[in-house]
Copies of this chain bind each other. A is one copy, B any other.
Amino acid sequence: MLIAFNNLKSEFKRVLLSLAFSEDKAEQCAQIFAENSRDGVHSHGLNRFPTFVQYVKDGLVVANAEPVKESGFGSLEQWNGNLGPGMLNAKFCMDRAIRLAKENGIGCVAIKNTSHWMRGGTYGWQAADAGMIAINFTNTIANMPPWGGIDPRLGNNPLVIAVPRKDGHVVLDMAISQYSFGKLNLYKSKNEQLPLPGGYDIEGNLTTDPGAIIESWRPLPIGFWKGSGLSLVLDLLATVLSQGQSTGTVTKNGSESGVSQVFIAIKPIGIKTDALIEDILAYTKSSRVEKGKEILYPGENTLRTREKSLKEGVWADEKIWEKVKNL
Protein backbone atom coordinates (compact mmCIF):
# COMPACT_ATOMS: atom_id res chain seq x y z
CA MET A 1 0.00 0.00 0.00
CA LEU A 2 1.01 3.65 -0.43
CA ILE A 3 0.98 6.13 2.44
CA ALA A 4 1.55 9.87 2.32
CA PHE A 5 4.95 10.78 3.77
CA ASN A 6 3.41 13.01 6.43
CA ASN A 7 1.00 10.29 7.58
CA LEU A 8 3.87 7.87 7.97
CA LYS A 9 5.91 10.39 9.87
CA SER A 10 3.13 11.50 12.19
CA GLU A 11 2.28 7.90 13.06
CA PHE A 12 5.93 7.29 14.02
CA LYS A 13 5.94 10.48 16.02
CA ARG A 14 2.76 9.55 17.87
CA VAL A 15 4.30 6.24 18.97
CA LEU A 16 7.61 7.85 19.98
CA LEU A 17 5.85 10.52 22.05
CA SER A 18 3.98 7.72 23.85
CA LEU A 19 7.40 6.24 24.72
CA ALA A 20 8.41 9.47 26.49
CA PHE A 21 10.56 10.84 23.67
CA SER A 22 10.77 14.61 23.93
CA GLU A 23 8.87 16.56 21.26
CA ASP A 24 12.11 17.45 19.47
CA LYS A 25 13.58 13.95 19.60
CA ALA A 26 10.31 12.33 18.49
CA GLU A 27 10.14 14.77 15.58
CA GLN A 28 13.72 14.03 14.44
CA CYS A 29 13.45 10.25 14.82
CA ALA A 30 10.08 10.11 13.06
CA GLN A 31 11.50 12.20 10.22
CA ILE A 32 14.46 9.83 9.74
CA PHE A 33 12.35 6.63 9.86
CA ALA A 34 9.87 8.13 7.37
CA GLU A 35 12.71 9.32 5.10
CA ASN A 36 14.26 5.86 5.08
CA SER A 37 10.99 4.35 3.85
CA ARG A 38 10.53 7.25 1.43
CA ASP A 39 13.95 6.52 -0.09
CA GLY A 40 13.13 2.82 -0.47
CA VAL A 41 15.22 1.56 2.46
CA HIS A 42 12.26 -0.22 4.04
CA SER A 43 14.50 -2.45 6.16
CA HIS A 44 15.54 0.63 8.13
CA GLY A 45 12.29 2.57 7.83
CA LEU A 46 8.80 1.27 8.61
CA ASN A 47 9.94 -2.37 8.73
CA ARG A 48 12.45 -1.64 11.44
CA PHE A 49 10.29 0.66 13.53
CA PRO A 50 8.61 -2.04 15.69
CA THR A 51 12.04 -3.46 16.60
CA PHE A 52 13.29 0.02 17.48
CA VAL A 53 10.27 0.51 19.74
CA GLN A 54 10.99 -2.83 21.42
CA TYR A 55 14.65 -1.79 21.96
CA VAL A 56 13.45 1.39 23.67
CA LYS A 57 11.03 -0.60 25.85
CA ASP A 58 13.84 -3.04 26.74
CA GLY A 59 16.15 -0.19 27.73
CA LEU A 60 18.67 -1.01 24.98
CA VAL A 61 17.99 2.43 23.47
CA VAL A 62 17.53 5.30 25.93
CA ALA A 63 14.98 7.71 24.46
CA ASN A 64 16.25 11.02 25.82
CA ALA A 65 19.94 10.30 26.40
CA GLU A 66 22.30 12.97 25.04
CA PRO A 67 25.79 12.47 23.64
CA VAL A 68 28.61 13.80 25.82
CA LYS A 69 32.09 14.77 24.66
CA GLU A 70 34.74 12.66 26.37
CA SER A 71 37.95 13.72 24.68
CA GLY A 72 39.30 15.50 21.68
CA PHE A 73 42.37 16.89 20.00
CA GLY A 74 42.09 19.52 17.29
CA SER A 75 39.63 18.37 14.64
CA LEU A 76 39.27 14.92 16.16
CA GLU A 77 36.62 14.30 18.82
CA GLN A 78 35.46 11.38 20.97
CA TRP A 79 31.88 11.26 22.18
CA ASN A 80 29.86 8.93 24.38
CA GLY A 81 26.41 8.18 22.95
CA ASN A 82 25.01 7.02 26.28
CA LEU A 83 22.85 4.49 24.38
CA GLY A 84 20.70 7.30 22.98
CA PRO A 85 18.77 6.74 19.74
CA GLY A 86 21.39 5.87 17.13
CA MET A 87 19.88 8.12 14.47
CA LEU A 88 20.03 11.19 16.70
CA ASN A 89 23.55 10.44 17.90
CA ALA A 90 24.69 9.88 14.32
CA LYS A 91 23.02 13.05 13.07
CA PHE A 92 24.63 14.97 15.91
CA CYS A 93 28.10 13.56 15.18
CA MET A 94 27.80 14.23 11.46
CA ASP A 95 26.89 17.83 12.30
CA ARG A 96 29.92 18.13 14.59
CA ALA A 97 32.21 16.71 11.89
CA ILE A 98 30.76 19.15 9.34
CA ARG A 99 31.42 22.04 11.72
CA LEU A 100 35.00 20.88 12.29
CA ALA A 101 35.52 20.56 8.52
CA LYS A 102 34.15 24.07 8.00
CA GLU A 103 36.68 25.38 10.49
CA ASN A 104 39.64 23.27 9.45
CA GLY A 105 39.04 21.51 6.13
CA ILE A 106 38.52 18.09 7.68
CA GLY A 107 36.92 16.83 10.88
CA CYS A 108 36.50 13.44 12.49
CA VAL A 109 34.00 12.58 15.22
CA ALA A 110 33.98 9.12 16.77
CA ILE A 111 31.22 7.96 19.11
CA LYS A 112 31.00 4.99 21.44
CA ASN A 113 27.99 3.50 23.25
CA THR A 114 25.60 4.49 20.54
CA SER A 115 22.86 2.40 18.99
CA HIS A 116 22.02 1.31 15.43
CA TRP A 117 22.04 4.28 13.04
CA MET A 118 19.40 2.58 10.87
CA ARG A 119 20.24 3.68 7.31
CA GLY A 120 23.87 4.84 7.19
CA GLY A 121 23.13 6.78 4.02
CA THR A 122 21.03 9.25 6.06
CA TYR A 123 24.20 10.89 7.37
CA GLY A 124 25.87 10.83 3.96
CA TRP A 125 22.93 12.78 2.52
CA GLN A 126 23.11 15.10 5.52
CA ALA A 127 26.78 15.90 4.90
CA ALA A 128 26.29 16.27 1.16
CA ASP A 129 23.35 18.65 1.76
CA ALA A 130 25.83 20.75 3.74
CA GLY A 131 28.25 20.67 0.79
CA MET A 132 30.61 18.22 2.46
CA ILE A 133 32.25 14.96 1.49
CA ALA A 134 31.65 12.29 4.16
CA ILE A 135 33.27 8.99 5.06
CA ASN A 136 31.29 7.23 7.81
CA PHE A 137 31.24 3.73 9.21
CA THR A 138 29.86 1.74 12.10
CA ASN A 139 30.65 -1.60 13.64
CA THR A 140 27.89 -4.14 14.27
CA ILE A 141 27.30 -7.44 16.00
CA ALA A 142 29.30 -10.34 14.45
CA ASN A 143 27.47 -11.75 11.45
CA MET A 144 30.19 -13.03 9.06
CA PRO A 145 33.12 -15.42 9.49
CA PRO A 146 36.58 -14.02 8.84
CA TRP A 147 38.28 -15.39 5.70
CA GLY A 148 39.43 -18.95 6.40
CA GLY A 149 37.12 -19.20 9.41
CA ILE A 150 33.78 -20.81 10.10
CA ASP A 151 32.20 -18.87 12.99
CA PRO A 152 30.92 -15.30 12.75
CA ARG A 153 33.57 -12.97 14.18
CA LEU A 154 33.21 -9.91 11.91
CA GLY A 155 30.42 -7.37 11.60
CA ASN A 156 29.05 -6.33 8.23
CA ASN A 157 30.17 -2.85 9.33
CA PRO A 158 28.40 -0.53 6.85
CA LEU A 159 30.52 2.08 5.08
CA VAL A 160 29.10 5.33 3.72
CA ILE A 161 30.91 7.66 1.32
CA ALA A 162 29.10 10.77 0.11
CA VAL A 163 30.01 13.41 -2.47
CA PRO A 164 27.87 16.55 -2.75
CA ARG A 165 26.47 17.29 -6.18
CA LYS A 166 24.01 19.87 -7.48
CA ASP A 167 21.79 17.49 -9.44
CA GLY A 168 21.74 14.74 -6.83
CA HIS A 169 24.42 13.69 -4.39
CA VAL A 170 26.50 10.58 -4.90
CA VAL A 171 25.98 8.48 -1.76
CA LEU A 172 27.47 5.02 -1.43
CA ASP A 173 25.90 3.14 1.48
CA MET A 174 27.09 -0.44 1.68
CA ALA A 175 27.47 -3.16 4.23
CA ILE A 176 30.63 -5.25 3.85
CA SER A 177 28.56 -8.44 3.48
CA GLN A 178 27.46 -9.36 -0.04
CA TYR A 179 23.85 -9.88 1.06
CA SER A 180 22.27 -8.88 4.38
CA PHE A 181 20.35 -11.47 6.39
CA GLY A 182 17.26 -9.40 5.59
CA LYS A 183 17.92 -9.90 1.88
CA LEU A 184 18.65 -13.61 2.38
CA ASN A 185 15.35 -14.03 4.24
CA LEU A 186 13.51 -12.17 1.49
CA TYR A 187 14.86 -14.51 -1.22
CA LYS A 188 14.14 -17.53 0.97
CA SER A 189 10.55 -16.46 1.62
CA LYS A 190 10.03 -16.14 -2.16
CA ASN A 191 11.68 -19.55 -2.62
CA GLU A 192 14.24 -17.96 -4.97
CA GLN A 193 17.96 -18.49 -5.46
CA LEU A 194 20.32 -15.51 -5.05
CA PRO A 195 21.48 -14.00 -8.35
CA LEU A 196 25.12 -14.56 -7.27
CA PRO A 197 26.83 -16.70 -4.63
CA GLY A 198 26.12 -15.15 -1.23
CA GLY A 199 27.86 -17.46 1.20
CA TYR A 200 28.75 -21.01 2.13
CA ASP A 201 26.50 -23.91 3.01
CA ILE A 202 27.15 -26.01 6.09
CA GLU A 203 29.58 -28.21 4.12
CA GLY A 204 31.67 -25.19 3.11
CA ASN A 205 30.51 -24.98 -0.51
CA LEU A 206 29.81 -21.63 -2.13
CA THR A 207 26.06 -21.38 -2.71
CA THR A 208 23.25 -19.24 -4.10
CA ASP A 209 20.72 -20.93 -1.76
CA PRO A 210 19.64 -18.32 0.80
CA GLY A 211 18.33 -20.98 3.19
CA ALA A 212 21.65 -22.81 3.23
CA ILE A 213 23.49 -19.60 4.14
CA ILE A 214 21.02 -18.74 6.90
CA GLU A 215 21.54 -22.27 8.24
CA SER A 216 25.36 -22.13 8.13
CA TRP A 217 25.54 -18.51 9.32
CA ARG A 218 28.32 -18.07 6.78
CA PRO A 219 27.39 -15.16 4.48
CA LEU A 220 30.17 -13.86 2.24
CA PRO A 221 32.00 -10.62 2.73
CA ILE A 222 32.29 -8.61 -0.51
CA GLY A 223 35.34 -9.75 -2.44
CA PHE A 224 35.95 -12.80 -0.22
CA TRP A 225 39.29 -12.21 1.63
CA LYS A 226 39.25 -8.52 0.71
CA GLY A 227 35.95 -7.72 2.42
CA SER A 228 37.03 -9.82 5.39
CA GLY A 229 40.08 -7.57 5.79
CA LEU A 230 38.05 -4.41 5.17
CA SER A 231 35.45 -5.34 7.79
CA LEU A 232 38.20 -6.02 10.32
CA VAL A 233 40.00 -2.69 9.79
CA LEU A 234 36.73 -0.73 9.93
CA ASP A 235 36.03 -2.33 13.33
CA LEU A 236 39.57 -1.47 14.45
CA LEU A 237 39.15 2.16 13.37
CA ALA A 238 35.67 2.59 14.90
CA THR A 239 36.73 0.97 18.17
CA VAL A 240 40.10 2.70 18.51
CA LEU A 241 38.90 6.15 17.46
CA SER A 242 35.89 6.04 19.81
CA GLN A 243 37.66 3.99 22.52
CA GLY A 244 34.42 2.04 22.53
CA GLN A 245 33.09 -1.46 22.06
CA SER A 246 34.30 -3.67 19.23
CA THR A 247 32.24 -6.13 17.21
CA GLY A 248 33.54 -8.80 19.59
CA THR A 249 32.45 -6.98 22.75
CA VAL A 250 29.04 -6.11 21.31
CA THR A 251 28.57 -9.74 20.26
CA LYS A 252 29.52 -11.08 23.68
CA ASN A 253 26.91 -8.76 25.25
CA GLY A 254 24.31 -10.59 23.18
CA SER A 255 22.40 -7.70 21.62
CA GLU A 256 23.44 -5.08 19.09
CA SER A 257 23.70 -2.20 21.50
CA GLY A 258 26.51 0.20 22.39
CA VAL A 259 28.24 0.13 19.00
CA SER A 260 31.06 2.43 17.81
CA GLN A 261 30.90 4.80 14.84
CA VAL A 262 33.08 7.26 12.94
CA PHE A 263 32.06 10.35 10.97
CA ILE A 264 34.62 12.13 8.79
CA ALA A 265 33.67 15.30 6.90
CA ILE A 266 35.92 16.91 4.29
CA LYS A 267 35.34 20.27 2.66
CA PRO A 268 35.76 20.14 -1.13
CA ILE A 269 37.92 23.09 -2.16
CA GLY A 270 38.63 24.14 -5.73
CA ILE A 271 36.67 25.72 -8.54
CA LYS A 272 36.70 22.65 -10.79
CA THR A 273 34.75 20.42 -8.39
CA ASP A 274 31.33 20.43 -10.10
CA ALA A 275 32.79 19.91 -13.58
CA LEU A 276 35.07 17.09 -12.39
CA ILE A 277 32.15 15.23 -10.82
CA GLU A 278 29.98 15.54 -13.94
CA ASP A 279 32.88 14.35 -16.12
CA ILE A 280 33.40 11.25 -13.98
CA LEU A 281 29.71 10.30 -13.95
CA ALA A 282 29.37 10.88 -17.70
CA TYR A 283 32.48 8.82 -18.41
CA THR A 284 31.20 5.96 -16.24
CA LYS A 285 27.87 5.98 -18.04
CA SER A 286 29.56 6.07 -21.47
CA SER A 287 30.20 2.32 -21.31
CA ARG A 288 28.12 0.01 -23.46
CA VAL A 289 25.38 -1.47 -21.28
CA GLU A 290 24.45 -5.12 -20.76
CA LYS A 291 21.06 -6.04 -22.19
CA GLY A 292 18.30 -5.00 -19.80
CA LYS A 293 20.74 -3.32 -17.39
CA GLU A 294 21.50 0.28 -16.56
CA ILE A 295 24.62 1.98 -15.20
CA LEU A 296 23.72 3.94 -12.08
CA TYR A 297 25.88 5.94 -9.70
CA PRO A 298 25.40 5.23 -5.98
CA GLY A 299 22.42 7.28 -4.79
CA GLU A 300 20.89 7.74 -8.24
CA ASN A 301 18.16 5.20 -7.62
CA THR A 302 17.56 6.59 -4.12
CA LEU A 303 16.69 9.95 -5.62
CA ARG A 304 14.30 8.37 -8.13
CA THR A 305 12.55 6.40 -5.39
CA ARG A 306 12.35 9.54 -3.25
CA GLU A 307 10.70 11.54 -6.02
CA LYS A 308 8.24 8.74 -6.73
CA SER A 309 7.39 8.33 -3.03
CA LEU A 310 6.74 12.02 -2.57
CA LYS A 311 4.52 12.11 -5.64
CA GLU A 312 2.61 8.84 -5.31
CA GLY A 313 3.03 7.98 -1.63
CA VAL A 314 5.54 5.89 0.29
CA TRP A 315 5.31 2.14 -0.24
CA ALA A 316 4.49 0.29 2.99
CA ASP A 317 3.99 -3.32 4.01
CA GLU A 318 0.35 -3.43 5.05
CA LYS A 319 0.85 -5.82 7.97
CA ILE A 320 3.69 -3.82 9.47
CA TRP A 321 1.75 -0.60 9.01
CA GLU A 322 -1.20 -2.10 10.92
CA LYS A 323 1.21 -3.21 13.63
CA VAL A 324 2.65 0.30 13.97
CA LYS A 325 -0.82 1.84 14.12
CA ASN A 326 -1.59 -0.45 17.05
CA LEU A 327 1.61 0.37 18.96
Q: Which 3 A-B pairs have the closest CB atoms?
A: A222-B223, A76-B105, A248-B283
**Residues on A facing B (Cβ under 8 Å):** 71-76, 78, 103-108, 133, 135, 145-154, 159, 161, 163, 170, 172, 174, 178, 196-197, 204, 206, 221-224, 226-227, 229-230, 232-237, 239-241, 243, 246-249, 264, 266-270, 272-273, 276-277, 279-280, 283-290, 293-298
Chain B residue numbers with a CB within 8 Å of A145 are 287
When C-beta atoms are compared, the residue in chain B nearest to A230 turns out to be: B172
Question: Is B246 a contact partner of A279 (Cβ separation < 8 A)?
Answer: yes
Chain B residue numbers with a CB within 8 Å of A266 are 76, 108, 241
Question: Is B103 a contact partner of A280 (Cβ separation < 8 A)?
Answer: no
Chain B residue numbers with a CB within 8 Å of A174 are 223, 226, 229-230
- Complex A-B: 25 CB contacts under 8 Å: A71-B269, A74-B103, A106-B106, A108-B266, A146-B284, A146-B287, A146-B295, A148-B296, A149-B287, A149-B293, A149-B295, A150-B287, A161-B234, A170-B233, A172-B229, A178-B223, A178-B224, A196-B206, A204-B290, A223-B227, A232-B297, A240-B277, A241-B268, A246-B280, A248-B283
**In the bound complex, CA of A229 to CA of B289 (Å):** 16
When C-beta atoms are compared, the residue in chain B nearest to A177 turns out to be: B223
**In the bound complex, CA of A279 to CA of B248 (Å):** 8
Question: Is B280 a contact partner of A74 (Cβ separation < 8 A)?
Answer: no
- Known A-B contacts A163-B237, A283-B248; the reply to A105 vs B73 at CB < 8 A is yes
Chain B residue numbers with a CB within 8 Å of A232 are 170, 172, 280, 284, 297-298
Question: Is A240 a contact partner of B223 (Cβ separation < 8 A)?
Answer: no
Number of copies: 2
Question: Is A270 a contact partner of B240 (Cβ separation < 8 A)?
Answer: yes
**In the bound complex, CA of A72 to CA of B135 (Å):** 20
Question: Is A75 a contact partner of B74 (Cβ separation < 8 A)?
Answer: yes
Question: Is A72 a contact partner of B150 (Cβ separation < 8 A)?
Answer: no
- Known A-B contacts A174-B230, A287-B145, A287-B153; the reply to A249 vs B279 at CB < 8 A is yes
Question: Is B233 a contact partner of A76 (Cβ separation < 8 A)?
Answer: no
Question: Is B248 a contact partner of A298 (Cβ separation < 8 A)?
Answer: no
When C-beta atoms are compared, the residue in chain B nearest to A71 turns out to be: B269
Question: Is B108 a contact partner of A289 (Cβ separation < 8 A)?
Answer: no
**In the bound complex, CA of A90 to CA of B6 (Å):** 51
- Please indicate which of the listed interface residues A75, A268, A296 has the most CB atoms of chain B within 10 Å of its own CB: A75
Contact pick for A105, options B74, B234, B246, CB 8 Å = B74
**In the bound complex, CA of A298 to CA of B288 (Å):** 36
Chain B residue numbers with a CB within 8 Å of A78 are 269-270
Question: Is B105 a contact partner of A284 (Cβ separation < 8 A)?
Answer: no
